[in-house]
Amino acid sequence: MNTAAPVVIVGAGPAGATAALSLAEAGISSVLLDDNGAAGGQVWRTGAADLGPPLAYTDARGDELRRDLKRHGDLIDHRTGHEVVGLFPDLRLWVLEGGETVTSLHPKAIVVATGALEVFAPVPGWTRPGVYGLGGLQALMKTSRVVPDGPVVLGGAGPLLRLVAAQLASFGAEIAAVVDAAPWPSSGQVLRLASQPGLLAKGLAFEWGLLRRGIPVHRGSAIVEVAGDEEADSVLVAPVDENWRPVDGPRRRLEARVVGLGYGVRSNVELTRLAGCEHTFSASRGGWHATRNRDMETTVENLFLAGDGGGIGGVEVALAEGVIAAASVSERLGQGDRLKTKAAKARGRMVDLVRFQDALADWSGVRPGILAGSTEDTIICRCEDVTRGEIAAAVAAGYTDIGPVKMNTRAGMGLCQGRTCTPALQAIMASETGRPLAEAGLPTSRAPLRPVPLKALAQLPLDEAVE
Amino acid sequence: MTRFRRTTPVQSLVSVTVDGRAMELPEGEVLAAALLVGGMGRFSDSVRVGEPRGPLCLMGSCFQCVAEIDGTPQVRTCRTAVRAGMTVALNAPSSASK
Amino acid sequence: MKQTEIYDSAVIGGGVMGCTTALHLARGGMRVVLVERGGLCGEATGRCGGTLSLMYVPAILVPYAIRGRELWKDAPRWLGRDVGFNDRHGLDIAFTDADGETLRAEMELRAAAGAPIEIIDGNQARKIEPALSKDIVAAAHCAQDGHALSYLSGVFFHRALARAGVDIRVGTDVFGVEGGDRGFVLRTAKQSIRARRIVLAGGVWMRKMIGWFGLDVPIIGRVTQETISERMPPILASGVRVFRDISLKQAANGTVLVGGGRGSRWIEDADRETVELDPAVVNQVMMNALGSARRAVPALAVARAVRMWTGIEGIAPDNMPVIGPLPGTADVFTIGCQRSGFTAGPFMGRLLADALLGRQPEMPIFAPAFDPARLLSMAPVDRERGVPTV
Ligand SMILES: Cc1cc2nc3c(=O)[nH]c(=O)nc-3n(C[C@H](O)[C@H](O)[C@H](O)COP(=O)(O)OP(=O)(O)OC[C@H]3O[C@@H](n4cnc5c(N)ncnc54)[C@H](O)[C@@H]3O)c2cc1C
Ligand SMILES: Cc1cc2nc3c(=O)[nH]c(=O)nc-3n(C[C@H](O)[C@H](O)[C@H](O)COP(=O)(O)OP(=O)(O)OC[C@H]3O[C@@H](n4cnc5c(N)ncnc54)[C@H](O)[C@@H]3O)c2cc1C
Ligand code: FES
């Protein structure tokens, strides 16, 4: 095991793995940490065992990536099942292995490439077993080839909605309906999406896949309730306006053995928050993310950030940013500019990709009415069982900053540390105070990010020798 | 009620104890996936209201899929691989106390 | 209330000290505004461990701590809500004979001041708390101990204060106070606030607040850390302290809280240094604390830590509270900087309110030992030697 690497990369998705591979090309060794059993990240997630034929609508680049990482094993120390639970402004990392042991690393430079998290919009009944994230249903297919048995209703917005529907259908799952909060894209939006013909074609392929199988797509609609005895057995679908607020109109109840929910994705900011990086809000990039300069460096020196963790851009952007971050790290370490041309090319590609992303966000990005389906009694924080009414009451009492609201309601203070409820919490605060979403603020994150055995922290050895 | 099915043949099964019951689950499989296919949906009870909960994100983020595994409370089943002889307790009191 | 109207009292700082003072002033008939820049009890009070103990305080504060603890027990009556009060035995344990001797000497002073503390040996300690390590050589035992859920205090104070008619201004940072012909004017980021009387209850920010009146006092900040575990089966039935090191307790919901840890720091400027706390030190202190926790209660080795945080309290060089009239400006009072201030807080606030309302306080509150004026001639804290503990 190579512990003399000067660089640690967190996240072995497209961005992180590409950064590691680019560094290897320049002869620089790195430690690549990821909590999964295999590299690939969200988009190229895979299971351990032999899974048979590939999943529909995926490409072979994940396998290629994993082969490349193996090939560069002399320079890339890829540690699977390693979860980073602490990242501090002095570039120290705490790494949890197998939920049992913790090591401390202290490299010269870090590339954070931790990707995105799914955004949930709580509605009555969304806490019932039988309700899953769209990404969760996808993960079951990707790692285990496990699919829902019985009618499935998928609701939400964003590209994942149709992709997951098409993938599930290709495995023979019975998709009863796709409920999309976004309306048909306008002609202007389509035109701008066409700036990336390849990506637009992909989207159309999912759409065609659904059409061909006769799967109904309810546009401009949302799931406003999940009902069932103990576990989910039906959903209520209502029409919504262009801001996703439910409006009058026919409501229908659809039988559903499995419900998939997801309203797009947002950057996973827990590490950059912990490290003390400056963050900014950008609606077209999925909300809050750390700010970076064009070399992908955050406001913390020698802490770089690539991929969806720095604002949602999708897989192609993640790949480009991985290269750019690697080039910057190489230069910073005084290892010359061998990656300069590669980085310049990547920068060129990004311009168009970002335009596509803007168009996508314009069509299906999160709208202010995202919470309108919830009621007073809807549980927002699933870890501590905090309702929308309790949060609203705290805001009404004068708690207009997210920190005091968390402390006073316990929302976001449970086991998941707010990873699930933060967007909803921010949206409630915005709607209750009448301020823009961007002013609702971002909660602080605290180490350890996951439960860590006391004995592991108590015995934390001195930093593993990282040069 | 089973809500999930597996679309590929299982390579090798191992014995696991789930809530005191012996089960044969695919070795190395994501435990949450294996339990879902096995017909389990309710993994834990929420801490304040005590209502049933099950996996949500299946990517290690939400902690709604936790179970007591080999005596360790609140382990994420979606981040745990099936091992021969493991003991799993869903709705374990330690994960569900007030 | 219209902006031109004048409050009888403005309390600046909404921790336990400010909240209880404001509550009792309002119940005594005053028109009161409570101004807090964050949320109620969001600093030391909400971050603290919530231990209600007589074993930490300087001996002369023991009677005050006893009453404070009783008030937390009695919270449903005066606060309207039970703040998760847990009646427990307390144990302060020592691993070496030398520590055992210092422990005995300190605890005898507290016992003489009225705390029901006795010195016992390791076996007796383990009889009371079977989870304790075999390596303990001596312990102090106090039948009056326990904890309350300090993080809930802000919500409960909020309700009680609103009901008592206190004008609560959270999210309102006070920048300074000016004296005027019609009382004082508080300058805030929002509108100005007028009041005849000022109570400074700023915790570690007390030094800055006193500075508004042209005085400099050697109050310093001490950083303390807390680490909380996930919910666990019952392990600990009493409040356990490792002498001059950490405190350990398990709440009713099963979470174990580890507070303290060797190597914690003094800071001069709480505004600046909280954001600049050296992570290497913070982490080291946490590791030290968890190491001690494990040593004291071996069964905690399997516990999993889910979160760690820091809090800062204000400390005077003699480790005594800063309560009383501010020298130089009439009608300005301070309350805070009290060791184990969560324990005694509800009582101190009530005493100050009584004094300001012209009632006879149950125990002396404008005492020379608490007098802010004493600080003007006091040398700063010697960081090496720390402050006196009893
Ligand atoms: C649930 C979900 C499903 C998605 N599915 C698709 C899809 O099918 N197709 C598509 O084009 N896009 C998908 N996306 C969008 C996806 O974000 C991008 O396509 C792309 O994967 C971004 O690449 P990345 O390298 O930035 O991040 P990711 O691919 O997300 O990789 C980040 C990696 O970091 C790991 N990680 C995170 N935190 C830590 C930590 N603390 N310690 C260790 N490792 C950590 C993660 O487990 C992950 O493996 C999905 C996003 C989400 C959230
Ligand atoms: C981590 C930790 C653990 C502790 N554990 C215990 C324990 O277990 N038991 C115990 O008895 N004691 C404990 N203590 C001590 C106890 O918490 C304090 O003594 C007590 O809470 C102090 O209360 P306070 O009201 O004086 O200060 P604080 O609670 O700090 O309140 C001061 C308030 O003033 C506000 N403020 C500051 N400046 C301004 C301004 N310019 N304008 C408006 N508002 C302002 C602040 O925002 C703050 O809310 C602990 C302390 C810490 C830090
Ligand atoms: S299902 Fe979300 S953490 Fe396992």
Q: Please tell me the predicted confidence (pLDDT) of residue C366.
A: 97
Instruction: Determine the Cα–Cα distance for residues A464 and A314; give it in Å rounded to an integer.
Output: 34
Judging contacts by C-beta atoms under 8 Å, the chain C residues touching residue A399 are 39, 170-171
User: Does pLDDT of A45 surpass 80?
Assistant: yes
Amino acid at position A403, single letter = G
CB pair distance less than 8 Å for C231 and B94: yes
Higher pLDDT, A19 or A350: A19
A7-116+266-361 and A122-262 have identical folds: yes
Torsion angle of C-alpha atoms C68, C228, C160, A395, degrees rounded to 10: 160
Judging contacts by C-beta atoms under 8 Å, the chain B residues touching residue C232 are 73, 94
What interhelical angle do A159-170 and A197-212 show, nearest 10?
50
User: What letter would DSSP give residue A184?
Assistant: P
Identify whether the C-beta of residue C267 lies closer than 8 Å to the C-beta of residue C311: no
Q: Which helix (H) or strand (E) holds A404?
A: helix A402-409
Q: What angle do CA C264, C267, C269 make, to 5 degrees?
A: 150
Q: Please tell me the predicted confidence (pLDDT) of residue A1.
A: 37
Instruction: Determine the Cα–Cα distance for residues A420 and B57; give it in Å rounded to an integer.
Output: 9
Beta-carbon contacts of C382 under 8 Å, excluding residues fewer than 6 positions away, are C317
Q: Please tell me the predicted confidence (pLDDT) of residue B97.
A: 33
User: What letter would DSSP give residue A450?
Assistant: S
Comparing CB atoms, the residue among B71, B72, B97 nearest residue C231 is: B97
Amino acid at position B32, single letter = A
CATH fold of A369-435 reads Arc Repressor Mutant, subunit A (1.10.10)
- Smallest CA–CA separation between C42 and chain A, in Å? 7
Inform me whether the C-beta atom of residue A106 falls under 8 Å from chain C C-beta atoms: no
Beta-carbon contacts of C127 under 8 Å, excluding residues fewer than 6 positions away, are none
Residue C52: φ, ψ to 5°: -110, 100
Q: Which ligand lies nearest to the CA atom of residue C335 in the structure?
A: 2
Inform me whether the C-beta atom of residue B31 falls under 8 Å from chain A C-beta atoms: no
A122-262 to CATH, choices 1.20.1090.10, 3.50.50.60, 3.40.470.10, 1.20.950.20? 3.50.50.60
Q: What is the arithmetic mean of pLDDT over C258-282? A: 79
Cis peptide before C218, with omega less than 30 degrees from 0? no
Instruction: Determine the Cα–Cα distance for residues A284 and A265; give it in Å rounded to an integer.
Output: 11
User: Does pLDDT of B98 surpass 80?
Assistant: no
User: Does pLDDT of B59 surpass 80?
Assistant: yes
Question: What DSSP letter does each residue of A282-340 carry, written as one string?
Answer: EGGGTEEEE---TTSB-SSTTEEE-GGGGS---HHHHHHHHHHHHHHHHHHTT--STTH
Torsion angle of C-alpha atoms C322, C326, C328, C330, degrees rounded to 10: -170
Q: Please tell me the predicted confidence (pLDDT) of residue B29.
A: 93
Identify whether the C-beta of residue A12 lies closer than 8 Å to the C-beta of residue A36: yes
This prediction's pTM: 0.90
CB pair distance less than 8 Å for A403 and C230: no
- The distance of Cα A447 from the centroid of its chain, to the nearest Å, equals 20
Helix, strand, coil shares of chain A, percent, nearest 5, are 35, 20, 40
User: What letter would DSSP give residue C175?
Assistant: E
Proportion of chain A above pLDDT 90, given as a percent: 66
What interhelical angle do C16-27 and C153-163 show, nearest 10?
20
A463 pLDDT band (50/70/90 cuts)?
Answer: very low
Top CATH class of B13-90 equals: alpha beta
Residues 32-51 of B with CB under 8 A from A: 33-34, 36-37, 41-43, 46-49, 51
Name the residue at shortest CA distance from atom 29 of ligand 1.
A41
User: Which residues of chain C are in CATH 3.30.9.10 domains?
Assistant: 86-147+220-315
Judging contacts by C-beta atoms under 8 Å, the chain C residues touching residue B72 are 302, 304
User: Which CA distances in Å does C315 have to C243, C368, C375, C378, C389?
Assistant: 20, 17, 11, 13, 12
C181 pLDDT band (50/70/90 cuts)?
Answer: low
User: Which residues of chain C are in CATH 3.50.50.60 domains?
Assistant: 7-46+152-217+318-377
Top CATH class of A7-116+266-361 equals: alpha beta
Q: Which ligand lies nearest to the CA atom of residue C346 in the structure?
A: 2
Question: What DSSP letter does each residue of C107-136 carry, written as one string?
Answer: HHHHHHTT--EEEEEHHHHHHH-TTS-TT-
Q: Please tell me the predicted confidence (pLDDT) of residue A459.
A: 67
Instruction: Determine the Cα–Cα distance for residues C308 and C257; give it in Å rounded to an integer.
Output: 10
C51 CB near ligand 2 (under 6 Å):
yes
C101 pLDDT band (50/70/90 cuts)?
Answer: very high
How many A-C residue pairs are in contact by the CB < 8 A criterion? 103
Extents of the domains making up chain A: 7-116+266-361, 122-262, 369-435
Q: What is the arithmetic mean of pLDDT over C265-279? A: 75
User: Does pLDDT of A278 surpass 80?
Assistant: yes
Beta-carbon contacts of C352 under 8 Å, excluding residues fewer than 6 positions away, are C21, C199, C323, C333, C335, C361, C365
User: Which CA distances in Å does B2 have to A408, B37, B42?
Assistant: 40, 6, 11
Proportion of chain C above pLDDT 90, given as a percent: 79
CATH fold of C86-147+220-315 reads D-Amino Acid Oxidase; Chain A, domain 2 (3.30.9)
Q: What is the arithmetic mean of pLDDT over C261-283? A: 77
What is the CATH code of the structural domain delimited by C7-46+152-217+318-377?
A: 3.50.50.60
Identify whether the C-beta of residue A14 lies closer than 8 Å to the C-beta of residue A60: no
Q: What is the arithmetic mean of pLDDT over A289-294? A: 96
Q: Give me the half-sphere count of Cα atoms (radius 13 Å) on the Cβ side of residue A393.
A: 14
User: Does pLDDT of C280 surpass 80?
Assistant: no
CB pair distance less than 8 Å for A400 and C171: yes
Helix (H, G, I), strand (E, B) or coil at C243: coil
Chains that touch B (3 or more CB pairs under 8 A): A, C
User: Does pLDDT of C226 surpass 60?
Assistant: yes
Extents of the domains making up chain B: 13-90
Q: What are the tens digits of pLDDT across the range A113-166?
A: 999 999 999 999 999 999 999 999 999 999 999 999 999 999 999 889 999 999
Identify whether the C-beta of residue A380 lies closer than 8 Å to the C-beta of residue A424: yes
A418 CB near ligand 1 (under 6 Å):
no
What mean pLDDT, rounded, does chain C reach?
A: 93
Q: Quote the tokens at residue B15.
A: 């014995």
Ligand 3: distance of its center to the CA of A150 in Å? 22
The ipTM is 0.94
Helix (H, G, I), strand (E, B) or coil at A97: strand
Instruction: Determine the Cα–Cα distance for residues A236 and A373; give it in Å rounded to an integer.
Output: 11
Q: What are the tens digits of pLDDT across the range C14-43?
A: 999 999 999 999 999 999 999 999 889 999
Exposure class string for C338-349: b at 16+ Cβ within 10 A, else e? bbbbbbbbbbbb
Ligand 2: atom nearest CA of C13 is 34
User: What letter would DSSP give residue A185?
Assistant: P
Inform me whether the C-beta atom of residue B80 falls under 8 Å from chain C C-beta atoms: no
Q: What are the tens digits of pLDDT across the range A186-199?
A: 777 777 777 778 87
User: Does pLDDT of C96 surpass 60?
Assistant: yes
A284 pLDDT band (50/70/90 cuts)?
Answer: confident
Ligand 2: atom nearest CA of C147 is 8
C2 pLDDT band (50/70/90 cuts)?
Answer: low
B63 CB near ligand 3 (under 6 Å):
yes
Inform me whether the C-beta atom of residue B94 falls under 8 Å from chain C C-beta atoms: yes
C76 pLDDT band (50/70/90 cuts)?
Answer: very high
Q: What are the tens digits of pLDDT across the range C313-340?
A: 999 999 999 999 999 999 999 999 999 9
Instruction: Determine the Cα–Cα distance for residues B30 and A144; give it in Å rounded to an integer.
Output: 7
Which residues are bridge partners to C119 per DSSP? C140
Chains that touch A (3 or more CB pairs under 8 A): B, C
Inform me whether the C-beta atom of residue B73 falls under 8 Å from chain C C-beta atoms: yes
Which residues are bridge partners to A104 per DSSP? A94
- Smallest CA–CA separation between C318 and chain A, in Å? 32
Residue C193: φ, ψ to 5°: -130, 135
